[in-house]
Structure 1
Amino acid sequence: MEPVQITSAVWQLPFPVGHVHVVRLADGYALIDTGVPGSAPAILDALGRLGCRPQDVRQIVLTHFHLDHIGSAADLVAATGARVLAGAGDAPFISGATPGPEPVFTAAERGLHERVTAGLADAGLPPLEHVPVDVELHDGDTLDGWAEPVRVLHAPGHTPGAIALHLTSSGVLFPGDTIATVEGRAVLGPFNVDRAEAVAAFRRLAALDVETVCVAHGLPLLKGGGAALRAAVPENDWV
């Protein structure tokens, strides 16, 4: 896998389901999400291509508890010693203390979910290994050790404790699965536990001063990301 450079300090590691992002910190690197189970070797290889040794990974930030985001977190913690950070509302689901809630599908989402689930089953993924959360994040928190200010935003709806990260100086947004892209358009991420909350979270993120949107599903919005988010109509997606 070749890392895709998004900014001078951000790379995307593209996966068929659930991209991973790498951010250069003041004294190392952070990962945002970890792909499906079994992705750790590919992620570590890609980090090596960036000159990042396993011990240089300081933080693993999980935007929410779904399989394609936390799937390789335990393996990566074992390989790197990094701390795991996640939204407080999703921490019990990530650690395995409590089963996570199921999404409420629209008619359009149900068929898509069946196809995605079948594809993951055909891939023969290893079982999910849950991982403890070292730091529970809340709305308005900032993250230590980053090279620029980064603000945590609670973005419930996709999951109860979903979060987004906003790099305020460079205008980079990591929206988790609240936002996806399709053919260059920003759309509401599907498979939400509370669709109305997810739409409200989308609208809140769209109001930020953003240039680049690093989505986990679809291609990134490299320029004019904020305008693209404000032009979107998430209420009409997946219905």
Structure 2
Amino acid sequence: MEITHVTDTVWMLRFPVGQAYAVRIPDGFALVDCGWAGYEKPILDALAGLGASGPTDLREILITHCHKDHYGSAAALAAATGARILAGAADAPVISGAQPLPDPVLADWEIPLYEANAPQVPPAPAVPVDRELSDGDTLDWGEPARILHVPGHTHGSVALHLPDSGVLFTGDTIANVGQLMPGVFNLEPARMADAFRKQAALDVETACFGHGDPLTTGAGAALRAAARTLT
């Protein structure tokens, strides 16, 4: 698994489709998303290489949204480490297995892309959500970590903002794939521009996306410039 150092405390873990982020916190590590099912061992090996003393150093897993390429390893990681699972309140029933994932609303140009990529990703085992998150909630990750509810990609999509560090984790609400753009395969496409603008208004230096390379400098300005082109 490819590991990329993003900031002093953030590393990107890249999967065949999409990516997750390891964040060093005072008592260990947290994850923002956790990739495909079956990747729990590579993830734990990666954390060990970053300095984790054992599996229990993984304290929390924030799932940005209820797509299987973002929470596939959550159940196995929680069982192996005792990490708490955090997710947006509206997506928690899907992640826990209480509700099925609704089908995305696809534009014509998205259909072949979806048909080519979606079958590659293995099913994600259900996992209980320990904390359901709402807009404005904060996590204690050594600095206040603020939750933004940014529906559109899924009903309960959340982004995470570390204001002291100037870092933003967008999940799949924003992608960096040749250009900065709203994510694809959305449940509520009409809400995606607002989700993008909400994040672009933040003062951030680094932006970490669910798909595409992070922006490590000038991310806020780049997001605002891209937001001005949205209709």
SS in 1 for 2:76: helix
Where does residue 168 of structure 2 map in the other structure?
Answer: 173
Distance 1:77 1:18 in 2: 20
State the percentage of identical aligned residues. Answer: 57
Distance 1:117 1:5 in 2: 28
Where does residue 94 of structure 2 map in the other structure?
Answer: 93
SS in 2 for 1:214: strand
Give unmatched runs, 5+ long, in structure 1. Answer: none
SS in 1 for 2:138: coil
TM-score, normalised by the number of residues in structure 2: 0.95
Task: Give the partner amino acid of 2:225.
Answer: A
Distance 1:56 1:143 in 2: 17
Distance 2:104 2:124 in 1: 19
SS in 1 for 2:175: strand
Distance 2:118 2:170 in 1: 22
Once the two structures are superposed, residues 157-200 of structure 1 have per-residue CA deviations (whole angstroms, 9 ceiling, x without a partner) of 000000000000111000110001012x2111101111111111
Aligned residues: 229
Distance 2:118 2:159 in 1: 25
Task: Give the partner amino acid of 2:9.
Answer: A
The aligned runs of 1:110-121 (5 Å cut-off) are 110-120=111-121
- 8 Å contact kept, 1:150–1:168: yes
Once the two structures are superposed, residues 31-83 of structure 1 have per-residue CA deviations (whole angstroms, 9 ceiling, x without a partner) of 11110111111111111111212110110100010000110100000111000
SS in 1 for 2:199: helix
Where does residue 68 of structure 2 map in the other structure?
Answer: 67
- 8 Å contact kept, 1:2–1:46: no
Where does residue 80 of structure 2 map in the other structure?
Answer: 79
Task: Give the partner amino acid of 1:5.
Answer: H
Give unmatched runs, 5+ long, in structure 2. Answer: none
Distance 2:37 2:145 in 1: 27
Where does residue 216 of structure 1 map in the other structure?
Answer: 210
SS in 2 for 1:217: coil
Once the two structures are superposed, residues 98-123 of structure 1 have per-residue CA deviations (whole angstroms, 9 ceiling, x without a partner) of 11221100111111111102433xxx
Where does residue 133 of structure 1 map in the other structure?
Answer: 129
Task: Give the partner amino acid of 1:102.
Answer: D
Task: Give the partner amino acid of 1:212.
Answer: T
- 8 Å contact kept, 1:63–1:162: yes
The aligned runs of 1:147-162 (5 Å cut-off) are 147-162=142-157
Distance 1:154 1:198 in 2: 12
Distance 2:102 2:193 in 1: 18
Distance 2:167 2:10 in 1: 9
SS in 1 for 2:168: strand
- 8 Å contact kept, 2:176–2:213: yes
Distance 1:226 1:83 in 2: 30
SS in 1 for 2:139: coil
Q: CA RMSD in A?
A: 1.3
Task: Give the partner amino acid of 1:133.
Answer: V
Where does residue 24 of structure 1 map in the other structure?
Answer: 24
Structure with greater strand share of residues: 2
